[in-house]
Every structure is written in structure tokens, then in C-alpha cells.
Amino acid sequence: MNPFLASYDELAADFRGHDVPIDRPGFCDSEPFLRVEQSLCPEYLNNYAAFVSRRKYDSDYLRHAAKAIRDIASILHAELADHGRYALTAIVWGEDNEYHGFAEEGRNALKHLGTMLQ
């Protein structure tokens, strides 16, 4: 089955046929899903993506999801900003006070943040 052409009902039937529970978010991490992905279809995650994109969501769910996404993004933004401030402070303080180990730690922290954002 081509998941990009299949209907929601066809995808649901395929999941049920492999005993994949589709009643809660994240079912792509369930044992039955992983078993199919590992043994029969390495691209099975495409089926999950197509299923999620075709699913109908009510307005309450969408409101709740939008709030959760905003809240999580805010937390992540604050954490990244805090780490970035620490790294920059370490670099400046280390350079100004000729404590180059601290400056190097700050540079490494910035590099680490950079890899996290890729």
C-alpha cells in the first residue's frame, strides 16, 4: 500500500491488521508497530505520518494542542536563552580575566547549543 495515496480508513485497517493500537497518539512507538517496521516495512513510519495528517481533529483538541505547543516552545526558548547567556558570559569573563579555561568552556557550550539546533 502506498501510504501517500491511501485513505484514512485504509491506513486504519492496515494498522488494525497488524494489531497496531491506533487509539492514542504516538502509537508508532508501540511494540506491534515497531515489529512491522523492523521486519516487514522499514518505511512504515510513512504510514503513521499519512494517518496523522488525514485524521480529523475537533476544535477542542486543536485548541489544546496549540496551547501545549506554545507552552513547550516557551520552555525550550527559555532554556536555550539561559544556556546561551551562560556561554557568552563564560567567554567574556574568561577572556577579560585571562582565565581561558572558562572561556573555552563557554565556546564549547555554544558549539553544543549549535548542534542541538540543527
Q: What is the pLDDT along the chain (118 residues), one digit of tens a residue?
A: 899 999 999 999 999 999 999 998 899 999 999 999 999 999 999 999 999 999 999 999 999 999 999 998 888 778 777 777 777 777 776 777 766 677 777 777 777 777 766 6
Tell me whether residue 44 is exposed, middle or buried, using C-beta atoms within 10 angstroms of its C-beta: 0 to 12, 13 to 18, 19 or more: buried
Instruction: Tell me the pTM.
Output: 0.60
Give the pLDDT of residue 118: 64
The answer to whether 102 and 93 have CB atoms below 8 angstroms apart is yes
Sign of CA dihedral 83, 87, 93, 94: positive
Give the pLDDT of residue 92: 76
